[in-house]
A and B are shown apart, each in its own frame.
Chain A
Amino acid sequence: MKKQWLSIALGVVTAIGGFLDAGTVATAGEAGAKFGLGLIWAILAATLAVMLLVEMVGRFTAVSKKTYADAIREDFGFRFYLLPLTSELIAESLLLAAEIGGVAIALSLFTGIPWHTLFPFVALFIWILAWRAPFDLIENGPALLGLVTLSFLAGIVALGGIPAHLLPTLWHPNFQRGSVADYLYLVAAIIGSTISPYLLYFYSSGAREERWSRRSLVLNRVTAIVGMGFGSIGSMALLVLGAIVLQPLQISSNTLGELGLAMAKPFGITGSFLFASALFATCLGAALEVLLAVSYNIAQGFGWEWGENKKPVEAARFNLVMTIFLLIAAAIGLIGIDPLQLALFASTVIALFLPISLSPFLILMNDPQYLGNKTNGRFTNIAVICILLLAFLVALVSLPLEIITGGG
């Protein structure tokens, strides 16, 4: 019993620490700097959606003993499986490049060495970790370090809380001339960065790595609801900091380092280091998760041996895919596009492909052959339909908005 509570506590803590990544940091900071508190609703809506999806994918894997990718291929056939796989490969290669860039920028903020110089070394470090480290370390290590994101809350308190003049921006955002498209673009990017399908593939595969069963359902529910719920606090706190500090200075947070100024104002050098540490931990954790999620997806879909706890020689093709995918992302990153811009672009591309990745949920989660008596109830099905409608809407507008706003 004590062991189960420890697992639950660790699950919640890692979900909180692992919630943010380059995409959520970029979108939250820019949203606060440009529109005050006017986009908090988008973070809340996306968090609610991701809580439901993570709970479902965890329940599915715990009961059926199959991962999400396994089930898509088995139930919909190989041809259909190639659709979400292709969309994953395109969107996540961009996101992985942004995450590696995020780690490089964090190290650059500590050392002063340009991030372009650090980028290849960070890619190598991530490859070594993914190649050799056991699953528990990858899942829990960066996420525990990521708890430093809670210092953003302390930053708000140290600045005297949310000023009264900002509160009306909750329902009436600051629209400057011609900024409606920017606002809509950020809504799509926030949803795309929060409901990243890689999270679902990683969570599902992690549940198999840890041999979840029906007895893990409580752990799954608490991790999904409490962990993800509290995890979004870091994202919202960053948005609020952007609104309090950066907006009055007319800084629209076009680079990741600018966001750290919001923490430097209340805490000085310690604050800027807390921000750089948070950026390092969240981007490192996300880079490992994205890399593994794609490798899991491919290995499971093609029926290859897979597992982070297996020696590379025991799951050779899984590890080969991991290496090739990292090389592709590193090549994208080496072009030199700013990681924040890349993260925003990746978030809109993810938003564009969301319906493809999420559609199978509605069928799989109602199949008693997989779930027995644990299929979705009416409320959960309505929620999935709402999420899918949201995903379709976001997919429809994300591309035109990317074009007309020039990427925020």
Chain B
Amino acid sequence: MWRKSGTWLGLMLLLSVLSGCNVTESTFARTASNAGSAFAAAATTLTYAHEDKITYAYAASSFVNFQSELSGTDQALTAQSAVDTRTLHHLLTLYKPAIQVINAPCLSGACNWRSQIEVLNRASQALLKAGNS
């Protein structure tokens, strides 16, 4: 009984030490960083697809995974918001067009893929900055 309690106490202590000593990110920072990283990966994937470094199939498959990873990020950011309303609004303003690119990436040469890459990069940079601040 005492040993069991001791183990749990140890685990809780470790948990609180790790979370209290700034060795771990807040949930908001983690969500923002992960989304920023995913948008950066999407921008690189789109660039490589148009530079013929990866196939259409490879890019299409990757974007399906980006969709799963990024959908609902706006709600998560709003729910966990640890920043002021203006910053949150700025992030969401950049997120909305970027998620539209994720849902409908321009993988052929018939549309403006360069502007899509810019949209993704802008969202990525803002989210990464919010995650690190």
Contacts and interface: CB of A to CB of B under 8 A. Distances in A.
Contacts of B15: 400, 403-404
B62 A258 contact: yes
B124 A250 contact: yes
B98 to A, nearest CB: 15
A269 B54 contact: yes
Contacts of B24: 178, 180-182, 404-405
Contacts of B50: none
A343 interface: no
B108 interface: no
B37 A264 contact: no
A60 to B, nearest CB: 31
Contacts of A396: 10-11, 14
Contact of B58 (A177, A260, A338): A260
Contact of B61 (A113, A182, A338, A405): A113
Contacts of B10: 396
B34 A249 contact: no
Interface stretch (A3-11, A102-110, A123-131, A370-378): A102-110
B84 interface: no
Interface residues of A, number: 47
Interface in B1-44: 10-11, 14-15, 18-19, 22-27, 29-30, 33-34, 36-38, 40-41, 44
Contact of B25 (A108, A111, A177): A177
Contact of B23 (A181, A253, A272): A181
Interface in A137-183: 176-182
Contacts of A276: 58
Nearest to A179: B25
Interface stretch (B63-71, B86-94, B109-117): B63-71
Interface in A61-106: 105
A257 interface: yes
A268 interface: yes
Contacts of A179: 25
Contacts of B64: 108, 114-115
Contacts of A309: none
A180 B22 CA distance: 8
B18 A400 contact: yes
Nearest to B26: A178
Contacts of B22: 177-178
Contacts of B54: 260-261, 264, 268-269, 272
Contacts of B62: 109, 255, 257-258
A24 B10 CA distance: 29
Given A272-B53, A338-B68, A252 B37 contact: yes
Question: A109, A253, A271, A401: which has the most chain B beta carbons within 10 Å?
Answer: A109
Interface residues of B, number: 42
A401 B54 CA distance: 36
A251 B41 contact: yes
A255 B65 CA distance: 7
B52 A250 contact: no
A182 B23 CA distance: 8
A403 B27 CA distance: 11
A352 to B, nearest CB: 11
B30 A406 contact: yes
A222 interface: no
Question: A184, A250, A401: which has the most chain B beta carbons within 10 Å?
Answer: A250
Contacts of A184: 18
B23 A178 contact: yes
A336 B44 CA distance: 25
A265 B65 CA distance: 20
Contact of A250 (B25, B27, B65, B128): B128
Question: A177, A257, A336: which has the most chain B beta carbons within 10 Å?
Answer: A257
A246 B53 CA distance: 15
Given A109-B57, A112-B61, A272-B54, 9 more contacts: A105-B65, A112-B55, A115-B64, A179-B25, A181-B19, A181-B23, A182-B25, A251-B40, A261-B44
Across chains A and B, which 6 residue pairs bring their CB atoms closest together, nearest first? A112-B57, A180-B23, A178-B25, A181-B24, A257-B62, A112-B60
Interface of A: 105, 108-115, 176-182, 184, 249-258, 260-261, 264-265, 268-269, 271-272, 276, 336, 338, 396-397, 399-401, 403-406
6 contacts: A177-B22, A182-B24, A184-B18, A249-B44, A257-B62, A269-B52
